[in-house]
C-alpha cells in the first residue's frame, strides 16, 4: 500500500476543483486527514455531509493549523487576503499551493504574505467544468489532463516534487512553466474563449424579448456550447480577467485584427480565404483530439 503523501491537508475553497481534489485525495489515500475551509454559507457543512472531508470550518486560520499541505482553491482575487489570514497559523515546513488560472498576479499577491518558514508552489490544474460548488466535484475531472506548475527560483525542490506527485496520483501530467508564459498561453487557450462566449451569449440576451426567446428555443449546437462556457462561475472569471489583463488584452487585440480580416473576406466574397482558415482550424481540432484533450 502506498504511503500517504501528507498527514493533514487543508483545502481552502471547496468548490468544483477543491471538492474534486478532496475526493481524489480520499480515493488515493494521499492524506490521513482532509480539512475543508470555506466561508461561503453552508459550504463547509455541505462538504462534511458529502463525506469528502474529515473536518470542515468557516475559520480559515483554524483550517490550516498543523496542515502539511494547504491548497488555495478560492477565486484568485482574494488570494492575498487568504494568505494574510492564514499566515500566522501555518506551521514551519508547510507547503502552500494554489489552483488559480492566473500565475504572475497570484505569486505577487501571495508571496509577500507568507512566512519564510513555508514553501509556496504555484500551480494550475487544467481541468474543470462550468459547474461550481462542492456537489459539482468528481475525482475523475483530473484524469488525463495537464497540471502546470510555475515554481519560483527559490522554490524548495522537495515541496515541488510532493505537489507534483499529488497531481500525478490524481491522474494528471505535469508541466513546469514560467509564470508569465503560463499566463500568455492560458490567455489564448482559456481566457479569450470564455470572454468570447460571455460576449456572444450577452449579445443574445440584449436582443429584443421575442428574438431572445427564439435564440433560447432554437439554440443550435454552437450556441449551446457557448452557453455552457458562459455558465461558468462569474466571480471566478471576473477575477481571472482583472488579474491577467495584460495578456488577455494582448490576445484580444490580435483576435480583433483577425476578426476584421474575416469580416472583410465575407464582405468581398473571398471564399478561398475562408476555406484556408477553416482548413487550418480543423487541423487544430484534430490535433486536440489526437492529444486526448477533447
CA angle 181, 239, 40 (to 5 degrees): 130
pLDDT tens column, 77-115: 999 999 999 999 999 999 999 999 999 999 999 999 999
**What rounded mean pLDDT belongs to the chain?**
93
Alpha helical stretches, state H, 244-270 = 245-267
Half-sphere exposure of 268 (CA within 13 A, CB side): 9
| Amino acid 208: pLDDT | 67
Quick one: pLDDT band at residue 53, thresholds 50, 70, 90? very high
- Please, are residues 194 and 130 in contact by the beta-carbon 8 Å criterion? no
What are the residue ranges spanned by the domains of the chain? Answer: 6-177, 181-290
| Cβ contacts of 52 within 8 Å, gap of 6 or more | 19, 22, 23, 26, 34, 36, 134, 137
Coil, strand or helix at 247 = helix
CATH class of the region 6-177: alpha beta
- Residues in the chain, how many? 294
pTM, full prediction:
0.89
Q: Residue 293 and residue 285: Cα distance in Å, rounded?
A: 10
Q: Residue 162 and residue 271: Cα distance in Å, rounded?
A: 53
Alpha helical stretches, state H, 14-78 = 16-27, 43-50, 60-64
Residue 88 buriedness (CB in 10 A; 0-12 / 13-18 / 19+): exposed
Q: Residue 164 and residue 62: Cα distance in Å, rounded?
A: 26
Q: Residue 122 and residue 247: Cα distance in Å, rounded?
A: 18
The C-alpha cell of 78 is what? 482574494
| Cβ contacts of 9 within 8 Å, gap of 6 or more | 25, 30, 31, 33, 34, 35, 67, 68, 69, 70, 71
pLDDT of 6 > 70? The answer is yes
pLDDT of 216 > 80? The answer is no
| 114/221: higher pLDDT | 114
Alpha helical stretches, state H, 51-125 = 60-64, 79-86, 104-110
Least confident stretch, 33-37, 77-81, 219-223: 219-223
Backbone angles phi, psi at 124, to 5 degrees: -155, 100
| Cβ contacts of 279 within 8 Å, gap of 6 or more | none
Half-sphere exposure of 68 (CA within 13 A, CB side): 15
Coil, strand or helix at 233 = coil
What is 181-290's CATH topology?
A: 6-phosphogluconate dehydrogenase C-terminal fold (1.10.3660)
| Amino acid 177: pLDDT | 97
Q: What is the mean pLDDT of residues 170-189?
A: 96
- Please, are residues 7 and 31 in contact by the beta-carbon 8 Å criterion? yes
Beta bridge partner(s), residue 34: 9
Q: What is the mean pLDDT of residues 245-256?
A: 95
The helix or strand, by DSSP H or E, that contains position 179, with its residue range, turns out to be helix 179-186
Quick one: pLDDT band at residue 2, thresholds 50, 70, 90? confident
Backbone angles phi, psi at 36, to 5 degrees: -100, 130
| 131/167: higher pLDDT | 167
* Domain 181-290 in the same topology as domain 6-177: no
pLDDT of 1 > 70? The answer is no
| Amino acid 23: pLDDT | 98
Amino acid at each position: 500500500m502506498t504511503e500517504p503523501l501528507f498527514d493533514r491537508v487543508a483545502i481552502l475553497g471547496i468548490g468544483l476543483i477543491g471538492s474534486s481534489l478532496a475526493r481524489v485525495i480520499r480515493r488515493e489515500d494521499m492524506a490521513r486527514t482532509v480539512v475543508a475551509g470555506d466561508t461561503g454559507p453552508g459550504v463547509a457543512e455541505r462538504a462534511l455531509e458529502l463525506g469528502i472531508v474529515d473536518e470542515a470550518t468557516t475559520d480559515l486560520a483554524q483550517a490550516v493549523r498543523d496542515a502539511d499541505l494547504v491548497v488555495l482553491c478560492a477565486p484568485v482575487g482574494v488570494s492575498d487576503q487568504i494568505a494574510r489570514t492564514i499566515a500566522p497559523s501555518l506551521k514551519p515546513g508547510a507547503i502552500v499551493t494554489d489552483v488559480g488560472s492566473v500565475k504572475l498576479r497570484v505569486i505577487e499577491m501571495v508571496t509577500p504574505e507568507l512566512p519564510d518558514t513555508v514553501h509556496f508552489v504555484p500551480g494550475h490544474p487544467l481541468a474543470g467544468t462550468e459547474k461550481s460548488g462542492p456537489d459539482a466535484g468528481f475525482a475523475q475531472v483530473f484524469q488525463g489532463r495537464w497540471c502546470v506548475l510555475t515554481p519560483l527560483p527559490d522554490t524548495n525542490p522537495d515541496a515541488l516534487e510532493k505537489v507534483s506527485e499529488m497531481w500525478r496520483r490524481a491522474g494528471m501530467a505535469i508541466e513546469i512553466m514560467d509564470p508569465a508564459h503560463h499566463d500568455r498561453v492560458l490567455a489564448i487557450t482559456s481566457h479569450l474563449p470564455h470572454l468570447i462566449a460571455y460576449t456572444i451569449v450577452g449579445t443574445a440576451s440584449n436582443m429584443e424579448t421575442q428574438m431572445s426567446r427564439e435564440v433560447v428555443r432554437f439554440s443550435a449546437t454552437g450556441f449551446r456550447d457557448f452557453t455552457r462556457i458562459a455558465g461558468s462561475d462569474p466571480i471566478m472569471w471576473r477575477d481571472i480577467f482583472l488579474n491577467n489583463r495584460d495578456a488577455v488584452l494582448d490576445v484580444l487585440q490580435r483576435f480583433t485584427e483577425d476578426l476584421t480580416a474575416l469580416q472583410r473576406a465575407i464582405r468581398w466574397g473571398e471564399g478561398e480565404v475562408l476555406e484556408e482558415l477553416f482548413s487550418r482550424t480543423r487541423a487544430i481540432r484534430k490535433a486536440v483530439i489526437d492529444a486526448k484533450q477533447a
